[in-house]
Chain A
């Protein structure tokens, strides 16, 4: 899988261009599955936000808004009870997975519980586009500051498909606790390379190589 880890979605021309290079075609020629699941686990994320994500009515964090050839909803919590033979082909047929934000540990739990995680190694060309928690879920751990929903096993570990951590929404006007100073304090506890990134920035990970695409502000800690 190719990873495209954003903080605020496909929010500017540089990010969109980089994404289309990874897809090898325009978004409007690409088949997408949208994963809203992380939204449900976060206390401050309402069911209305899950709907806005799917209905492409969230211009501050565009994902569906850029236009896709086809879109389906991949509801991770439903997968264990509908059967692998039904949903695995939906994933294999998709060019891109659009993964909404919300609670990173809830999302991580359901990626594993649904069986989707087991499928990742067999999807070399699929692009994972994460938004906020949808990006953080690919890191080894998120740090105690971002723990909300508590998994049955405890801890702050996420999937660890990359070897760095992410602090999203840097300097976001609605998140006064997301300043660069806050990011620096968080990075000091995380024990690995860590990117603080604003909503105009994305991290592209293909075959182990990491590239930052940005029209905004970001910083790499613990190099």
Chain B
């Protein structure tokens, strides 16, 4: 499995080039499946899911101009025959894993059987956005504004208060098992004004709760993983903690 772990999608030419390197061919000749599942537990999840699937939000992902696009809905997979969906996944060039709730996503990646299948796909590119990137770690830590909802399996939760220029930022830190596709963790939306918990100072505190090297990446950066080699592709800012 090759991976391109983004924070905000394929937003610039460097990330796009990295994606085509991993695909080994142009996006326009590649077949992709879109996994919207993680967004559904969010407020407004139905509309955000629709916009993501149709390429209207989340940074260009579904809208990059793929040769073909399908929907792979993880919550549907346990109720359909494996023979009906496994070949589709095996034949696709890229899996586009949208953001949302990483706890919910990691649960359904396992429950669907997809997590088990992924290591047997050497040439398929896993493209994560935000939570889609977070969930690839063996163990991840996510900051929740409200306690996590929906289905998920967590290891522990702790309350934390981050400092920010606008005052205290109260979060619940949830430590949970990801699907273990990489041996590092990801903090997305690094230094994004809407994510005060991912400021430089707060990302450092966040990372101190994660038992692995942790890449904090902004929306103009991505982590490219191919044959065990990890490379950061960026037109913005990123930082490696716990190395």
Contacts and interface: CB of A to CB of B under 8 A. Distances in A.
Contact of B84 (A43, A75, A86): A43
A206 interface: no
Q: Which 5 A-B pairs have the closest CB atoms?
A: A47-B70, A72-B46, A81-B151, A77-B75, A72-B47
Given A72-B49, A72-B50, A73-B49, A40 B73 contact: yes
A149 B81 CA distance: 9
Q: How big is chain B's contact interface, by range?
A: 20 to 34
A40 B70 contact: no
Contacts of B68: 48
A73 B69 CA distance: 16
A51 B36 CA distance: 11
B215 interface: no
Contacts of A220: none
Contacts of A130: none
A75 B70 contact: no
A54 interface: yes
> In the complex, which of the residues A34, A40, A78 has the most CB atoms of chain B within 10 Å of its own CB atom?
A78
A52 to B, nearest CB: 8
A87 B36 CA distance: 16
B140 interface: no
A71 B53 CA distance: 11
A73 B75 contact: no
Nearest to B150: A82
Interface string B101-126: 00010011000000000000000000
Contacts of A40: 73, 76, 80, 85
B40 A78 contact: yes
B32 to A, nearest CB: 9
B88 A46 contact: yes
B64 to A, nearest CB: 13
Interface of B: 33-34, 36-37, 40-41, 43, 45-47, 49-50, 53-55, 68-73, 75-76, 79-80, 84-85, 88, 104, 107-108, 149-151
B69 A51 contact: yes
Contacts of A90: 45-46
Interface string A38-60: 01110100111111001110000
Given A47-B33, A48-B70, A83 B46 contact: no
Nearest to B32: A51
A40 B45 CA distance: 20
Contacts of B40: 75, 78, 82
B34 A75 contact: no
Given A36-B71, A50-B70, 4 more contacts: A47-B88, A50-B73, A73-B36, A75-B36
B96 to A, nearest CB: 11
A77 B41 contact: no
Q: By CB atoms of chain B within 10 A, which of A33, A34, A83, A86 has the most?
A: A86
A81 B104 contact: yes
B79 A87 contact: no
Contacts of B49: 72-73, 75
B69 to A, nearest CB: 5
